[in-house]
């Protein structure tokens, strides 16, 4: 393949510039706050900014691990509610409402983590599987 003089094949785009300390804290805190909307915000922020800011990398992983833990909890609650609902002819299917309790707890911890990360302090959730290290 021939290229115009002085030009070679197209180069891949350069990685994003490193984040400033303020931006690093901002994106790290938003990764936690995004947990209110489930795991996609934490996943997207971590994937986009993990190589650009060390604090965002650490806190994004922490937020994502917590959201994955909550996802496992949601699946377990719904599976148990379905099985118990079938066995009791629907009487114990109300256990699925525990998903709201889990969401509320997750939202509270996400806001606490957001406030901590916004101040530049790392946050460790009290219960979380450390699946992404």
Domain map of the chain by residue range? 21-118
pLDDT of residue 40: 92
pLDDT of residue 13: 44
71 close to 34: Cβ distance less than 8 angstroms: no
73 close to 98: Cβ distance less than 8 angstroms: no
Q: Where are the beta strands (DSSP E) in the chain?
A: none
pLDDT of residue 12: 45
pLDDT, one tens digit for every residue, the chain (133 residues): 555 555 555 544 456 889 999 999 999 999 999 989 988 999 999 999 999 999 999 999 999 999 999 999 999 999 998 898 899 888 877 888 889 999 999 999 999 999 999 999 999 999 899 999 8
CB atoms within 10 A of CB 108: 11
Tell me how far apart the alpha carbons of residues 65 and 115 are, in angstroms, rounded to a whole number: 18
To the question of pTM greater than 0.85 for the whole model, the response is: no
């Amino acid at each position: 393949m021939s290229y115009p003089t002085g030009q070679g094949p197209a180069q891949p785009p350069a990685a994003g510039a490193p984040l400033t300390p303020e931006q690093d804290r901002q994106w790290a805190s938003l990764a936690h706050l995004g947990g209110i909307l489930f795991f996609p915000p934490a996943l997207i922020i971590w994937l986009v900014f993990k190589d650009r800011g060390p604090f965002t990398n650490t806190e994004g992983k922490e937020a994502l691990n917590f959201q994955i833990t909550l996802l496992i909890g949601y699946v377990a609650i719904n599976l148990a509610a379905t099985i118990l609902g079938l066995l009791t002819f629907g009487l114990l299917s109300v256990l699925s409402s525990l998903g709201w309790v889990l969401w509320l707890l997750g939202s509270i911890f996400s806001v606490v983590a957001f406030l901590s990360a916004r101040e530049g302090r790392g946050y460790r959730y009290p219960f979380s599987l450390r699946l992404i290290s």
